[in-house]
Amino acid sequence: MNYDEHMTQDARLIILRELAAQPDGRLNEVLLEKVLDAFGHRRSRDWIRTQLRKLAELGAVRNSEAGTVLVAAITRAGMDHVERRSFVEGVARPSPEL
């Protein structure tokens, strides 16, 4: 795996973790951009949309649109990944909680 793939998979894990931390399991792309920035992933909104679409293809999120904004909701498969019950290919594996 090259560096860019590693960074992309890490960003996808950050997205899933943040969605899992929300009471309703949902966030929009604007808020996810701020979360990714805080973790050192300074990427364009278009790049984030691409990752949300990929996560939907992988079955980890469901996306919907609210006007012009994409809203992601974590799925059971996404939660299972965050909780280390099973893993989604293309997303970094979470570290075990100590």
Determine the pLDDT at residue 98: 57
Per the document, the length of the chain is 98
Alpha carbons 72 and 67: distance in angstroms, whole number: 14
- Which pLDDT tens digit goes with each residue over 9-59? 999 999 999 999 999 999 999 999 999 999 999 999 999 999 999 999 999
| Single pTM value for the model | 0.95
pLDDT band at 96 (very low <50, low <70, confident <90, very high): confident
CATH number of the domain enclosing 16:
1.10.10.10
Determine the pLDDT at residue 1: 81
On whether residue 92 sits in a domain, the answer given is no
Comparing C-alpha atoms, which of 70, 10, 63 is closest to residue 45?
70
Domain that holds residue 31: 3-82
pLDDT over 90 (residue 97): no
On whether residue 34 sits in a domain, the answer given is yes
